[in-house]
Structure 1
Amino acid sequence: MPFDNLPPSYQSLLANFTDAITDFSQEASFAYPRFEPATNQDYDFIIVGSGSSGSVIANRLSEITNWKILLLEVGYPEGFLAQFPLLAPILQFTDYNWDYTMERQENFCRAMINQRCAWPRGKALGGTSVINYMIYTRGNPRDYDKWAALGNPGWSYREVLPYFLKSENSNLTDFNPFYHNKGGYLSVEDPFESELTTTFLQAGQELGYKLVDYNSPDQFGFSRIQATIKRGRRHSAAKAFLEPIIGRRNLRILTGARVTKLLINPTTKEAFGVQYTKGRKKFIARAAKEVILCAGAFNSPQLLMLAGIGPKEHLKELEIPLLVNLPVGQTLYDHISFLGMIFNTNRVLEPASNLFDPRQLLSWYRYGIGPLSSLGGFEALGYIKTNVSTEEGDYPDIEIILSGAGHLHTDYGLINRRTTKISDNFYYKMFLSLEGKPGFAIIPMLLHPKSKGYMKLRSKNPSDYPLFYGNHLTDPEGKDIKTLIAAIRFIIKLCEETDAFRKYNTRLETKPFVGCEHLEFNSDDYWRCALTLLTTTLHHQVSTCKMGPLDDPGSVVNHELRVHGVKNLRIADTSIIPITLSAHTNAPAIMIGEKASDIIKEFWRVT
């Protein structure tokens, strides 16, 4: 990656930083035993995908010593680079990312290359938890009560909370002790924060918001971020749930193994195994009890449709024999966020040179502290309700995220703008002149979009990426756009009209967005235009294998995660979430893995 546009002083610091990383590289990722596939393999359970749900299920099912478990993962264990929380965006340039992109949509992602949004998903042992920003959020109690009310008994907040607690080992300094736990596999800690965090929290209080533990039922307000890190290092699902139990004899983990076909008896409609490739060879593995899909919101529906489980007309187009007619991939919700809320300040709040100082690496290595434990520059959150919301009570419609050192131009265009696939033409016209200016950004994330997307197969070749249609900002009443504009107004008020931010002389960047110059700056029409340029995903896609009762025409699995009309096949990942959550999806995915494990044990009368 070129670093020519960094100032000379930063180039020198970066060189020293790189040398220091090399010195510490012996603390690399845990070495997993290397298993080789056998010609004939028989297991009790086959788990497809080792992401945040699959790793948990592999752990919990292998607690039953007479059950034989196979975990198949197309990716490989994370390397040393993944341990640095600050470097999260860099991981999207590696083979740990599927590097999916959304199909072109009119009036959306206009600033991106070929007008296509990046939709990164993890391809590693640990799934997306290896490349995400490690923000640990569970959601609002009302989310889960809505989930259950849709005909899904067992998924209310009261019923899922114990599974969040079961996973957690909290080392937070400020939290509600009734809603956190010690002793679980997953470490939750405080990441690095700069002085901006305190300012942000004070500003929220000035506007009448409380300081809260957002992972308690009292989510509504402002908070420091809670992170899935351990001693300042990324604590992925694989590190949390697989490393501690790697010696279990009844668990076999195969990496570099891509499942290409679900094996289902067409007469009895019973799943009995999978076909997968490793290297250039094909293998078959059989499951005496169940096949469990944990391949994520994109790959689980892909495998279903390739097996003939999906929309009848779509499968007919591709000449895939129909097994069960289900609306697989026909519902796709996503959290979108606007990247254009850039604020200038009268002084540098966190010098970029600090990030490359080798002394910071030593502090991180010894104590897990310092800016290298920052979550890609994200520092604090606020859950707010805009003035256009029609919901009753303190139910948020927007999450705002404070971004200190992690915005588009703060790294001189090297990393962050590339992760979002912003075009060179747009970046250089819009952001080149902003490089080196002190400031920060606040990102509004739309929690409950009304717009609904979908996905479908590109072909019946399992190696071909699916087609993804976000349909963002297309709801007929324009509620999504109105909510985001209301959030923009709130953020401007937060940063320009509170005493907390006035000490920095904080001002919104007034350089007009390229393509919106003809509109009055800061008008609603101006922001509508800007939203079509720099709004993109925050990688929280759900509902492609939506949970619901059999009489729900949009559902694919029931409340016990079993695929309608198919025996011995379950799905346990974010694809089953039936509604949008007031949360990033990593923590809910882990909860789903914990709950799925108990459902499966109870089904097979083992506790």
Structure 2
Amino acid sequence: MRPKDRLTLAWILLTLRTTIGQGEFTENLPDNVREQRSYPQTPIIDMLMQSVAPNYTPSSPNDIFDFLRDSYPLPNGLKSPLKEYDYVIVGAGSAGCALASRLTEDPGVTVLLLEAGRPEQVPTDVPAIAPWFQFTDYVWPYYMERQPNMCLGMRNKRCFWPRGRAVGGSSVINYMIYTRGRPGDWDRIAKDGNYGWSYSDVLKYYMKSERSNLRGFEYSPYRGRAGNLNVEFIEYKTPLIESFLEAGRILGRPTVDYNAPEEMGFGYVQATVLGGRRVSAAKAFLHPYKNRTNLHILPVSRVTKVLINPENKQAYGVQYVRNKLNYEVHARREVILSAGPIASPQLLMLSGIGPKEQLSKHGIPLIEELPVGQTLYDHITFPGLIYTLNTTRVSLIENRETTLNTVVQWLQFGDSAMASPGAVEGIGYIKTPNSKEPADIPDIELISIGGSLVSDGGEGASKGVRRGMTISEKVFDEAYGSIDATETWSAFPMLLHPKSTGYLELKDNNPFSFPRMYGNYLTERVDVSEFVASIRYIQKMASTEPFQRYGARLHQPRFSKCRKLEFDSDEYWECALRVLAVSLHHQIATCRMGPPSDPRAVVDPELRVYGVGGLRVVDSSVIPRTISAHTNAPAIMIGEKAADMIKQKWSFLNKGS
């Protein structure tokens, strides 16, 4: 085995066998405390490191695995960044990576990409341990503000909203699911006055970024084959995915490429992986080009403010903190925020762009009054509908799969259970009878799991999924303890187009504080009715022969909050939703895109911040409406499209000068 693989193997086995609770955060822990808690500190690690790397000395006592991280040194031997660049991009997430890569294709421009997090490590390549990274320094540990009658089963009765804090952003910690949204999603965004954002407009950018390797769809006219982002089916599957697809066909849902525009249906999950290993946005768009002399990447650099001339309202740079020192860098052309749907609106408001009353409350001088953060949509799911099975070895169970053999097989071939992205195996789109969406837009996505919440349990298991959702141990044990670590199947219903709208606002004027985030989940009755209808649909699926051949039986979870309600009634499931609904971390619209006539718009259809020159927002926060998609692929598409818009603008200006 190669030395690098030996180190990877040792790290994986250690992390999977160590209680991840030692790495959990509380909200707003100081950075130094968070980093000290990022990895378990035990004598086992010392022994392990002595055996696999006896001569290794970590550069930081709080980052003992830094030798496994990617690196992004400044080119040409530079010890510090330049004082001025053509473009300064804030945030190396999914959109920021694509944007920086495309802009620096022009050797005549310079780009500085600032990122608060660190580069990713070899272990982040492992799809199976994605839940574990929810409690490391790779995330911003955001929590939604407490909402009465929601998130009641969570440890602090608040939903957890982790966002990526890494070079690669949330693509380093997510479940790698690749979805684009339906044509009707994007066409109605364009119809609202957002020129250039119809399905045909965005499709070419999805295809541009994609390197598709999907067997059976090799000749699809909707797939890209020459891009940077690898998209594949997962090689490792349980028999339950075939039951899911067959049940879908029985209920009238064909097995299709669910990212193709022709029809809604079910399919094997399409993931951003290559040979069973995660492909983050950083791997796809930065790593191959990090030796470009005009691309400067500065990790562990937290931007605190956009610099704006108050007289002409022109953005000219940013302030940032690195190694506890304050710095300033200027942009000759544009400052571009790609910090994500939480940090981008926060930075705008800290810089004087936002609701006048809120900025005044926190003593921030107003530059431009805009409804920053006043619209927020999110996708939530219910992971608690679990079916027990009477057949052995048909589902994923962590304790059974975590063996030296499966890890070595993954290292060599990428096709063991280690390649499964959190046990996600299939995606299906449906319209419930309660849907308020147009005919060609689904209201529910079903995520088929090769197991369930209980698959990560048992003696010595990580319990990573349930911990990643911050489910209370007491609530979990009462509801599911009797079936922990047994053969199960579940499908997570995701509410695609919630009518309930949230918002966020500043907590104070300290850039190191987290904003206050309000999800307002299930405040509109139609959201509840669509969710309950999706549960009924899953029950129909489970009653079909493909699942009954495994003896699928609905487990009755015992929630104390719901004990007075009749099990399996609509009222019971609404109660269960309010106990156990969790965010899928797809927040959007906090820097909403829209035409000048849209009173909720923050940026125009070219992503320029209204009223401020030289400033754009390029990330998922600009998506103005809910879409039938997880947000990683759309964010990359937005970065691709923004790069072309920026290039076209400055090419035109340079020709005219």
**Which of the five TM-score ranges fits, normalised by the shorter chain?**
over 0.9
Indicate if the aligned counterparts of 1:558 and 1:564 stay in contact, CA closer than 8 A.
Answer: yes
Quote how far apart the aligned CAs of 1:27 are: 10
Q: List aligned pairs for 1:456-535, cutoff 5 A.
A: 456-475=505-524, 478-496=525-543, 498-535=544-581
Q: List aligned pairs for 1:267-286, cutoff 5 A.
A: 267-286=311-330
Counterpart of 2:192 in structure 1 is: 150
Counterpart of 2:7 in structure 1 is: none
Aligned match for 2:110, one of 62, 68, 71 = 68
Counterpart of 1:441 in structure 2 is: 490
Counterpart of 1:123 in structure 2 is: 165
Instruction: Normalising by structure 2, report the TM-score.
Output: 0.87
SS in 1 for 2:638: helix
Q: Counterpart of 2:117 in structure 1: which amino acid? A: G
Quote how far apart the aligned CAs of 1:449 are: 0.2
Quote how far apart the aligned CAs of 1:460 are: 0.3
Mapped to 2, the partners of 1:473 and 1:218 lie a distance apart of 31
Correspondence 1:350 to 2:395: yes
> C-alpha deviations, 1:19-62, integer Å up to 9, x for none?
89x97999944332257774861100000000000001110010
SS in 1 for 2:429: strand
Indicate if the aligned counterparts of 1:3 and 1:414 stay in contact, CA closer than 8 A.
Answer: no
Correspondence 1:571 to 2:617: yes
Q: Counterpart of 2:535 in structure 1: which amino acid? A: I
Distance 1:139 1:4, change over 3 A: closer
Quote how far apart the aligned CAs of 1:513 are: 2.5
Mapped to 1, the partners of 2:530 and 2:569 lie a distance apart of 15
SS in 1 for 2:244: helix
Correspondence 1:387 to 2:433: yes
Quote how far apart the aligned CAs of 1:472 are: 0.4
Distance 1:2 1:83, change over 3 A: closer
Instruction: Normalising by structure 1, report the TM-score.
Output: 0.94
Distance 1:5 1:544, change over 3 A: closer
Quote how far apart the aligned CAs of 1:379 are: 0.6
Query: Number of matched residues?
Result: 593
Mapped to 2, the partners of 1:137 and 1:390 lie a distance apart of 22
> C-alpha deviations, 1:246-276, integer Å up to 9, x for none?
1100110000100011000000000000010
Indicate if the aligned counterparts of 1:385 and 1:394 stay in contact, CA closer than 8 A.
Answer: no
SS in 2 for 1:441: strand
Aligned match for 2:415, one of 369, 373, 376 = 369
Mapped to 1, the partners of 2:634 and 2:584 lie a distance apart of 15
Distance 1:329 1:403, change over 3 A: same
Counterpart of 2:591 in structure 1 is: 545
Mapped to 2, the partners of 1:400 and 1:576 lie a distance apart of 25
Mapped to 1, the partners of 2:68 and 2:214 lie a distance apart of 26
Distance 1:470 1:367, change over 3 A: same
> C-alpha deviations, 1:454-475, integer Å up to 9, x for none?
0001110000011100000002
Say which is worse superposed, 353-362 or 256-265, in terms of deviation: 353-362
Counterpart of 2:8 in structure 1 is: none
> C-alpha deviations, 1:333-375, integer Å up to 9, x for none?
0001011110011023135344212222222112221211101
Q: List aligned pairs for 1:66-145, cutoff 5 A.
A: 66-145=108-187
Counterpart of 2:28 in structure 1 is: none
Mapped to 1, the partners of 2:83 and 2:292 lie a distance apart of 18
Q: Counterpart of 2:541 in structure 1: which amino acid? A: L
Distance 1:39 1:203, change over 3 A: closer
SS in 2 for 1:431: helix
Indicate if the aligned counterparts of 2:377 and 2:502 stay in contact, CA closer than 8 A.
Answer: yes
> C-alpha deviations, 1:265-291, integer Å up to 9, x for none?
000000000010100111110000000
Alignment gaps of 5+ in structure 1: 7-14
Q: Counterpart of 2:103 in structure 1: which amino acid? A: L
Alignment gaps of 5+ in structure 2: 1-14, 21-43, 54-64
Mapped to 1, the partners of 2:474 and 2:611 lie a distance apart of 51
Aligned match for 2:473, one of 410, 424, 428 = 424
Mapped to 2, the partners of 1:111 and 1:595 lie a distance apart of 40
Aligned match for 1:450, one of 496, 499, 505 = 499
Mapped to 2, the partners of 1:168 and 1:435 lie a distance apart of 39
Aligned match for 2:225, one of 182, 193, 200 = 182
Indicate if the aligned counterparts of 1:219 and 1:383 stay in contact, CA closer than 8 A.
Answer: no
Indicate if the aligned counterparts of 2:507 and 2:515 stay in contact, CA closer than 8 A.
Answer: yes
Distance 1:298 1:244, change over 3 A: same
Correspondence 1:171 to 2:223: no
Mapped to 2, the partners of 1:204 and 1:410 lie a distance apart of 26
Distance 1:37 1:296, change over 3 A: farther
Mapped to 1, the partners of 2:482 and 2:448 lie a distance apart of 22
Say which is worse superposed, 385-394 or 512-521, in terms of deviation: 385-394
Indicate if the aligned counterparts of 1:406 and 1:416 stay in contact, CA closer than 8 A.
Answer: no
Distance 1:289 1:408, change over 3 A: farther
> C-alpha deviations, 1:410-433, integer Å up to 9, x for none?
434721111111112212222222
Counterpart of 2:374 in structure 1 is: 330
Counterpart of 1:32 in structure 2 is: 72
Counterpart of 2:289 in structure 1 is: 245
Counterpart of 1:12 in structure 2 is: none
Quote how far apart the aligned CAs of 1:436 are: 2.8
Counterpart of 1:11 in structure 2 is: none
Amino-acid identity (%): 48
Mapped to 1, the partners of 2:321 and 2:170 lie a distance apart of 21
SS in 2 for 1:332: coil
Distance 1:417 1:126, change over 3 A: same
Aligned match for 1:236, one of 280, 291, 294 = 280
Distance 1:64 1:441, change over 3 A: same
Mapped to 2, the partners of 1:242 and 1:581 lie a distance apart of 27
Aligned match for 2:239, one of 177, 189, 195 = 195
SS in 2 for 1:289: strand
Quote how far apart the aligned CAs of 1:383 are: 0.2
Q: Counterpart of 2:84 in structure 1: which amino acid? A: D
SS in 1 for 2:562: coil
Counterpart of 1:45 in structure 2 is: 87
Indicate if the aligned counterparts of 2:241 and 2:426 stay in contact, CA closer than 8 A.
Answer: yes
Q: Counterpart of 1:331 in structure 2: which amino acid? A: T
Mapped to 2, the partners of 1:185 and 1:236 lie a distance apart of 10
Indicate if the aligned counterparts of 1:310 and 1:324 stay in contact, CA closer than 8 A.
Answer: yes
Mapped to 2, the partners of 1:158 and 1:97 lie a distance apart of 34
Mapped to 2, the partners of 1:163 and 1:351 lie a distance apart of 36
SS in 1 for 2:478: helix
Correspondence 1:263 to 2:310: no
Q: Counterpart of 1:483 in structure 2: which amino acid? A: E
Distance 1:27 1:84, change over 3 A: farther
SS in 2 for 1:98: strand
Say which is worse superposed, 235-244 or 369-378, in terms of deviation: 369-378
RMSD: 2.2
Correspondence 1:55 to 2:97: yes
Indicate if the aligned counterparts of 2:456 and 2:463 stay in contact, CA closer than 8 A.
Answer: no
Mapped to 1, the partners of 2:277 and 2:117 lie a distance apart of 21
Counterpart of 1:9 in structure 2 is: none
Correspondence 1:580 to 2:626: yes
Q: Counterpart of 1:388 in structure 2: which amino acid? A: N
